[in-house]
Structure 1
Amino acid sequence: MNRQAGKVPRHWYDGAPVPLPAHLLSGLYGALAGLRRGLYRKGLLRQKRVERPVVVIGNLVAGGSGKTPLTIALVERLQAAGWTPGVASRGYGRRDAGTPRWVDAATDPGLGGDEPVLIARRTGARLRVDADRVAAARALIAEGCDIVLCDDGLQHYRLARDIEIEVIDGRRRYGNGRLLPAGPLREPPSRGEGCDFRVLNAGTGTDLVAGFGEWPMWLEPGHAVPLLGGRAKPLAAFAGQRVHAVAGIGDPERFFALLREHGIAVVPHAFADHHRYAAEDLRFGSDLPVLMTEKDAVKCAAFAGERHFSVGIDARLPEAFWIALVDRLSGFARK
């Protein structure tokens, strides 16, 4: 069964012909986006700088590419290095998107956003959701954060940044290379060349090779954790079994493939990215275990059963990447 809503157009990644209206709208979108970038570049639209270093993590395509696992890894590494990072996020998909809000592990994902709540639960870092990233960054600094990580902010030019990190989906990359809506791109591929770091999300595979100037990132699955509490199980415990697999992320197939790599027979249930779950979404008509991503699990705990499990993901990057990042930050004084 596939209940995915808002599925990406086939012409983005599957080689289908691009409809003529999409061609025309893509030209208009590109002109407006280019005009906006030019106004910031010439100083006619002013960037706002905050008192502490800002690191922006983002991508050029619409949809997920692995930003959240990387953001979590960045927070943890910076904390280990003695920094006090705070995370600024738009909080995409939350109900009261116009209201700034502090997010912690206990925040309702409907109010804080699924990804911000997940980041807060995994890291314990201060996290502020606000459509105004400048205001969010200033609020974090006022709370004692000495570095700001801006989740999904490459296109939010108003907030001046010191380091930009582009995350690239290693399997799908830039699709057909066209701008929205003819393709998946929010900005031209050349935009990524100006980023300080380019991270290639290779998933759990080893066959993807990072290109020149790209740092590989691998996703390492953790144990399956019962949503109702209890002892976690290694994924190997489900090998040879059929399970319902739930993924409401940018590329659900990535999660399904991860489970298959561990010998698990997957009955896939793909939902739209940031899907707002209801109890009936998880009624599949058979009493199999249900494995879902952490991002989905934060929204399903209220109506989960004893056979529902969350599978966490950790991002792994070469040690040379972390050395290079810390070296770039060495010129900034901590509070």
Structure 2
Amino acid sequence: MAEAAHSRVPLRPEIKALPEYVPGARPEPGVKVHRLASNENPYPPLPSVAAELAEELVGINRYPDMGNADLLGALADFLNAQADHGITSANLAVGTGSVGVLGHILQAVVGPGDEVIYPWRSFEAYPIVVDIVGGRSVRVPLIDGYTDLDGLVAAVTDRTRVLIVCTPNNPTGTAVTHSDLVRLIGQVPPEVLVLVDEAYLEFVRGDDPVRALALVDEFPNVVILRTFSKAYGLAGLRVGYAIGHPEVMAGVRATVTPFGVSSLAGRAGVLSLGARDELMTRVDGLVAERDRVVAALAKQGWQLPETQANFVWFDLGEESLAFAKAAGEAGILVRPFAGDGVRVSIGDSENNDALLSFTRQWLAGR
């Protein structure tokens, strides 16, 4: 095939300048490794969910319900069962994972040059999505791995449209309390959307955890972002959702890609919500593994931020890439952030034992 001529179609400057999203490392085909780079649930979908999903395959020649009525209804029932908050489909929007919904939220609210404030380092998709919609990122540095809530408030200007709080924060795992989040929201102008990213909420066991639905009840400028990718083990199906005021959610749904959530993903979400007890048994096991790993690392001499997620953060600075390279050579895939640190997911006991053996050797060789 002849070499194609260079395209003369101009790309938007924002697109050409986008930072690259770096996914967690993937193993080579046929190579056994410990996959601790992407915060995945190490276990397959719940057995009760997987058994019924097979029946969905026969219908994938048809388009899914564009309105996602079954999933929205199941979500409303699930959320109201925790406490009657009066959540309806009008309070909800769904999309292809929480990052897909994030993009729709910013499309609905952020215009060219508008500011989006978020902690940094945090979820690396934030700057990418902000740039795509033509917004301007305002990054507030973490303090020893923890979100600087006062710094977020101080960064608000008359150009601010969205303020993001990721709790637990990815990649450091630290969480904010409900009381502190209420204090932050009370200091933010009501026209600024406060987006609370709770991708890892099922793993939180700290004191005064965020009560997200109470925030939505009290503050019409709050939107909660969640996903089925982590605790539910549905990362490959890509489905997430947002909860907020009906007027805001109507705008978000207007930007959603038609038929974006597949029939398989929607059905998996409905089934997973109905298997909550089964799910939480599995999550409790992962939390127990997290606590075991954290205690063992502390005994080895590591000092880590207090994680409330399904991962731990090694604040290694300039040693981050060397640590990740050595881990890879030991058959352990981790996620380095050059110059900052390394995030390591909690896996099953075999994965975690391999990690602990490696970290012990790493410290001994420093």
TM over 0.5: no
The alignment's TM-score, normalised by the length of structure 1, stands at: 0.31
Which structure has more helix as a fraction of its residues?
2
The alignment's TM-score, normalised by the length of structure 2, stands at: 0.29
Q: Which has the higher contact order (CA 8 A, sep 6+)?
A: 2
Which structure has more strand as a fraction of its residues?
1
